[in-house]
Amino acid sequence: MQIAKRLAQHALALALTTAAPVGAASAQAPATPRIDSGDTAFVLLCAALVLMMTAPGLALFYGGMVQKKNALTTIMHSFICMALVSVQWVLIGYSLAFGPDKGGIIGGLEWAGLRGVGTDPVAYAPTVPHQAFMMFQLMFAIITPALITGAFAERMKFSAYIVFALAWTTFVYDPVAHWVWAEGGWLRGLGAIDFAGGTVVHLTSGVSALVAVFIIGSRQGWGDGRMVPHSLPLTITGAGLLWFGWFGFNAGSALSAGTLAASTFVTTNTAAAAAMLTWMLTEWTVRGTPSVMGSASGAVAGLVAITPASGFVTPMSALVIGAIAGVVCFGACHVKVRFRYDDTLDVVGVHGAGGLLGALLTGVFASKAVNAAGADGLLYGNPGQFATQALGALAPLLYAALVTTIILKVIDATIGLRVHADDEARGLDLTQHAEAAYAMTREFNIGDSLPGPRSPTPPP
C-alpha cells in the first residue's frame, strides 16, 4: 500500500510540473494539416461531377444544337479535351497554374510531371491530398477550351482544333488561373475574388470565342434560316447534366464538406432557376412564344453568372444575379445578328457576357458574413471592391483576346484553320472522321467510301 501511495504521489508531482510547459508549447505550435476523409471524398466526387459537365454534359448540349452532319465532330470537340488537357496538366499545366509563384505572373516548373505532388495536404486545400486538389482543378482546365468550340462549330479543322486547345490551355488558361487563384498571383494579391471560375473559365473562353469567330469567319449560308438544331432533346439532356454537374463546379470549390459548400449549393441552384425564368419570360414577351432552347440557355446563363459569386453571396443576392443574367444574356445573344458575326452556339452571349456580369456583380453583392475569406461588396459598404472586380475582369479579357489572336493566326499560317468549302458542305463528321452520328442517312451510310475530290479553294 505504501509503495502504491508513493508512486501515485510521484505521478501527480510529475504531471503538475510538466502540464504548463506542454500546454504552452501546444498553444504556440501551428496546427498540423490533417487529411479529412469526408473532405477528400467530397472533393473527389465534385471532381467527377465537373468532368461529367464536359462529357456528356457540354458534348450533348452543343451536339444537339448543330446540323446533323456535324453532330459527331461537335461532340468530339468536348470529348478530346478530356485526353489532351489531362496529359498537358500532368506534364506542365498544373505546375504553371498552381506551382511556386514567379513574379505573380506564372507558376514555376517545380511541379512539372507532378513531381512533389503526392498525397500530403497542400496549402490550397489543407484537409485533402494534394493529388485530389490537382485533379479537381484539372476538370476546370478540361472544360474551358471545350466551351470555346461552340463559337466556331461546323467549320474548323479537327487537326487545327487539337493544336489550338493545347496552345490555348498552356498560354491563356494556365497563366490566368495563376493570376486569380494561386498563392502569389497578382490579381489575387489585389483582392479580386472569383470563387469558382467566372473570370478564369467563362470570361476567358467567351472573349476567345469572339476572337475566333472573326478570324475564322462565318459558316457558308449562315443567316439563310436553314441552320437549325438537329436534336433539341440532346441539347436539353446536356443542359440538365450541366446543371447537375455545376454543383460540383461551384460547391466543390469550397474544398471541404461544410457550411460554405452548403451555402454555395443553394446559391448555384437559385441563380440558375431565376435566370431560366427571366430568359423565358423575356423571350415570351419579345417573340410571342417561350422556346425550349431559350429556357436551356437561360439556365446555363444563370449558372455562369453565379459562378464567381457563388461562395460569397446570400441566396437572395443569387436570385437577383440570376434574374439579371437571364435578361442580359438573352440580349447579348442577339447582338450577333446586328453586328453580323456567326457565334454558332452563343458562347459569347452566354459565357462571355455572363462571366463578365458575374464578376462585376460579385463586387456588388459579396459579403464577409457569408465567407470571411472573401470581401464585402458595394452593398456592404465597400465600393472599392467593385473597382477591383472590374480590373480583375478587364486584365484577363484583354490578355485572352491578344494571345488567342496570336495562336489562331499562327495556326492559320501553318496548317490552316478552316476546312475546305466542299468539306464544310458535306459535313465535318464525314470529311474529318469518316463517320456519321446516325448510321443510316441519305447523306452517308457506314461503309460508304468518302466522296470525290474536294475543291482546292477554301471559303472566304
pLDDT tens, residue by residue, 316-332: 999 999 999 999 999 99
Give 33's pLDDT tier (boundaries 50, 70, 90).
low
CA 428 to CA 67: how far, in whole Å? Answer: 10
Cα 263 to Cα 7, 270, 313, 370: the distances in Å are 55, 11, 9, 8
Which pLDDT value is given to residue 355?
98
Chain segment 248-296, per-residue pLDDT in tens = 999 999 999 999 999 999 999 999 999 999 999 999 999 999 999 999 9
Using 50, 70 and 90 to split pLDDT, how confident is the model at 338?
Answer: confident
pLDDT in tens, 345-356: 999 999 999 999
37-421 is a CATH 1.10.3430.10 domain: yes
What's the confidence (pLDDT) of residue 370?
98
Please name the residues in contact with 431: beta carbons below 8 A apart, sequence gap of 6 or more: 419, 422, 423, 450, 454
Mean pLDDT of the chain: 90
What's residue 222's pLDDT?
Answer: 82
Can you spell out the DSSP letters for 85-99?
HHHHIIIIIHHHHHS
pTM of the entire predicted model? 0.89
Residue 428's pLDDT is what?
97
User: For the chain, what are the domain ranges?
Assistant: 37-421
- Sign of torsion, CA 430 423 55 332? negative
Cell of 212: 475566333
For position 178, what pLDDT does the model report?
Answer: 98
Average pLDDT score over residue span 74-94: 98
pLDDT for residue 63 is more than 50: yes
pLDDT digits (tens, 9 = 90+) for 399-451: 999 999 999 999 999 999 999 999 999 999 999 999 999 975 554 444 444 44
Read off the pLDDT band of 205 (50, 70, 90): very high
